Structure 1
Amino acid sequence: MTITTSTLGRAAGLAAAAAGLLFIAVQINHPPMEVASVSTTEWVVRNSMKVVMAALALAGMTGMYVRQVRQAGLMGLVGYLLFASGYLVMMAIAFVAAYILPSLAETAPAYVDDVLTVASGGSPTGDVGLFATANQISGVGYLAGGVIFGIALFRVRVLARWAAALLAVATASTVLLQVLPYAFHRLFAVPTGVALIGLGVSLWRDQRQAARTSRDSSALSPASGQAVR
């Protein structure tokens, strides 16, 4: 198998679409943010899915940015870096939730409860170290990066504009969660997931068409050794 830029582009598109599907899937019937939930197998599985989702999203948005790096300009770069940083920290938080918190649920339940409180947007009673800062960085990167990156993609007109617009609107709307119950966090993630699916499929189609065009050009080129009629 020959690895080409279009092959990597299609892979990035599939990664983004898969990330969107996982982003939606992990929200369905999500267990409550309580210490009792942390010790369950479901908790580990869901947060492991979040780690995979964040990694796939990073690969997907990198493919989107590389596809239109020249057209996107400074806005695209800033949006990509912010959005990627948000997902990178999100992946780290999900890793901690999946593989570290369960081992502390019995020995340090108060600490685990404080971490869950911070993750839910509340104020902890104890010291959670840099977790609160990491949670804020993830939130700011997700919100600001999603808005800027979505607008940049919309302006460039390479990928599906409806998906780019939805990404910007969906991430911007999360600011409302400051005044809404935590239960709404699950609902607000769905539009972003749909946007990632739309952008991923659009990137995959774009790169498939680019590959076809490249093959057709090679077939008609005199350099291919074939007669041109």
Structure 2
Amino acid sequence: MTSIPDNAPHQCPGTQSEDAGKASACAGCPNQNICASGVPAGPDPAVELIKNRLANVKHKILVLSGKGGVGKSTVTSLLGHGLAKLNPDLNIGILDADICGPSQPRVLGVRGEQVHNSGSGWSPVYVTDNLSLMSIGFLLGSPDDAVIWRGPKKNGMIKQFLSEVDWGDLDYLLIDTPPGTSDEHLSLVQYLAGAGATGAVLVTTPQEVALLDVRKEIQFCRKVGLPVLGVVENMALFVCPNCKVGIYCTGRKRR
């Protein structure tokens, strides 16, 4: 009988298959090298490491959307600022998990800051006294540098963010994710399995093309057992100044 690791991606061929570690479904899987070598896969030691690192983080919330450009990063930053201002005694952290398109440093006004490394790990950048941020944007030589990485390297960076950042005591850790339901999302869910993710907030806009993708994100959450905390419909009140139609506008003035 074909054995399938507990943290395997959907459509995993199994460790006993000739395609183990080689099939398209294996790309980006944390177990890819182990399966390809024929060595039986065991529990990823990073899961326990991340569990211990995030032991003092009460709520871990992923901000998801299957569609790009719907305002996911904006919603994450506003949610972080809102929680931080709601109660000064709350400590909020934001993890920018969009490896190829890190935008939180610019959105939160801390672009150009540097991350310090100590014996306890990376120290996040503080936006306010009770709001901190970690992003790969702080590790790039220039804001214009492109991150051209394959799945396994992006997964390794996410693992490093979760296991090596010294967040301290947090009430909320908000994780801003890239669009889609692929490598980064699977890695986050798998690595947070031991630490316990609180749930996900989904972001969309009213257009049907965005709703089609967010429905896929809901299915992703159901398949990986991630509770959906709510859905934010961004730009719902936008009215085009030209055609007055709203978000479905053509941009042309009405005669």
TM-score, with length taken from structure 1: 0.29
Select the structure that is richer in strand: 2
Select the structure that is richer in helix: 1
Larger RCO of the pair (alpha carbons < 8 Å, separation 6+): 1
Larger radius of gyration: 1
TM-score, with length taken from structure 2: 0.27
